[in-house]
Copies of this chain bind each other. A is one copy, B any other.
Amino acid sequence: MIVIMNNETTDAHIDAVVQRLKGWGLGSNVSRGVERTVIGAIGDESKIDKELLQALPGVEQVIRVMKPYKIVARSYHQEDTVIDIKGIKLGGKQIQVIGGPCSVETQAQMDEAAKGVVAAGCSMMRGGAFKPRTSPYTFQGAGVEGLDMFRKAADKYKLPIVTELMDVRQIDAFLQYDVDVIQIGTRNMQNFDLLKEVGRLHKPVILKRGMAATISEWLMAAEYIAAGGNHDIIFCERGVRSFETYYRNMLDVTAIPVLKKETHLPVIIDPSHAGGKAWMVPALARAAVAAGADGLLVEMHPNPCEAWCDADQALNPQELIDLMASLRGIAQAIGREL
């Protein structure tokens, strides 16, 4: 931690900072420059409460030297973490594509979707049983019954399933239906009580980035899960809020190399929720794989025009098959497989 004093600082102000650092067990290096005095904290920065330093008289700015995240940091674990999901390896050389509809509607729809997922060569299946909807007056998801339909459809093809958890009170149902990967949605990225609960489970967690979360906040949200003992965390970038109105969200493709540098955990991309239109999905999916993503979460519906939710962003089964072919070529060009 570095404390920059303002230009009206007195010796008493400097001493107060030094004493406060001492109280946390840290030493100080006081450097009196021509225009500013700068105090460097020597010792374990994690013991410092930055805001308490910032509130002291004479302090202009306090700058963190160390990253605030620990378990999820690349420095904690140098090698890439590979997560095993019923035998499917996520985070290694093989790129994994998770396909399926936005929401679980009927058994027939899920059966058809599972067939399409397998036909395209995807390794896992997605589908929402509990849906976070902007309006209280629209379809809120099929609920527990939806989990049941999803499990049945996926089991025929031995597909691991991924679905969103919105409320701590749904955890029992998720365990009962043996959901393979729990998704935490963008609106719950900083629902800290929910993060703490999934941190206690033995289930991989996909943590979607908050609508306008910085990468640092996102890593800290993952740290909540990791601190509870669950280190099987998958970051999922799904576009962030911006001033552009042509599409729904701005896919932050730069987040891929940044996360690869900062954390050892896998990174996947959701090109469907990013752009919000089916015709944008192939370009975004290709960009994600080329930039180094470990996987994709792609919406596919057996009959997009009849989907009960986000109908205009789902690929149809044939479009998913076509997309997979072009992704394979890109994966090879960068030394990976798909």
B253 touches A311 (CB 8 A): no
**Chain A interface extent, by class:** 35 or more
B166 touches A168 (CB 8 A): no
A257 touches B283 (CB 8 A): yes
Binds B, one of A81-89, A117-125, A131-139: A131-139
The interface bits of chain A over 308-337 (1 if a CB of B lies within 8 angstroms of the residue's CB, else 0) are 111110000000000000101110111000
Query: With A34-B43, A40-B33 known to touch, is A329 a contact of B326 (CB < 8 Å)?
Result: no
Q: For A133, what are the chain B residues with a Cβ–Cβ distance below 8 Å?
A: 192
Within 8 A of B (CB), among A293-316: 304-312
Min Cβ gap A13→B in Å is 12
Query: With A305-B52, A311-B55, A329-B334 known to touch, is A212 a contact of B243 (CB < 8 Å)?
Result: yes
The interface bits of chain A over 55-83 (1 if a CB of B lies within 8 angstroms of the residue's CB, else 0) are 11100000101101010000100000000
Min Cβ gap A200→B in Å is 13
Whether A250 is near chain B, meaning CB under 8 Å from some CB there, is yes
A328 nearest in chain B by CB position: B333
Question: So how many copies of this chain end up in the complex?
Answer: 4
B49 touches A138 (CB 8 A): yes
A65 touches B33 (CB 8 A): yes
A68 nearest in chain B by CB position: B135
Query: With A138-B49, A243-B243, A334-B329 known to touch, is A38 a contact of B280 (CB < 8 Å)?
Result: no
A47 nearest in chain B by CB position: B137
When the two chains form the complex, which single residue of B136, B168, B256, B329 contacts A283, counting CB atoms closer than 8 Å? Answer: B256
Within 8 A of B (CB), among A132-172: 132-138, 166-169
Q: For A333, what are the chain B residues with a Cβ–Cβ distance below 8 Å?
A: 326, 328-330, 332-333
B75 touches A7 (CB 8 A): yes
Whether A201 is near chain B, meaning CB under 8 Å from some CB there, is no
Q: For A247, what are the chain B residues with a Cβ–Cβ distance below 8 Å?
A: 254, 258
Q: For A305, what are the chain B residues with a Cβ–Cβ distance below 8 Å?
A: 52, 55-57
A residues apposed to B, CB below 8 Å: 2, 4, 7, 29, 31, 33-36, 38, 40-46, 49, 51-52, 54-57, 63, 65-66, 68, 70, 75, 132-138, 166-169, 187-188, 190-193, 196, 210-217, 220, 223-224, 227, 240-247, 250-254, 256-258, 261, 274-275, 279-280, 283-284, 286-292, 304-312, 326, 328-330, 332-334
